[in-house]
Amino acid sequence: MAYIISRLCRDCVDTACVSVCPVDCIYRYTGTDTATFPNQLYIHPDECIDCGACEPECPWQAIFEEVGVPAIFAADTPLNYAMMEHSAEFEVAKNEPKPKPAAEEIAANKLKWGYVS
**How confident is the model at residue 116, as a pLDDT?**
85
Domain 3-112 belongs to what architecture?
2-Layer Sandwich (3.30)
**How confident is the model at residue 66, as a pLDDT?**
96
Domain ranges for the chain: 3-112
What confidence tier does 49 reach under pLDDT thresholds 50, 70, 90?
Answer: very high
Condensed to tens digits (0 to 9), the pLDDT of residues 91-105 reads 999 999 999 999 999
DSSP 18-54: HHH-TT--EEEE-SS-TTTS-SSEEE-TTT------H
Provide the 3-class DSSP secondary structure of residue 64: strand
Question: What pTM was estimated for this model as a whole?
Answer: 0.95
**How confident is the model at residue 1, as a pLDDT?**
77
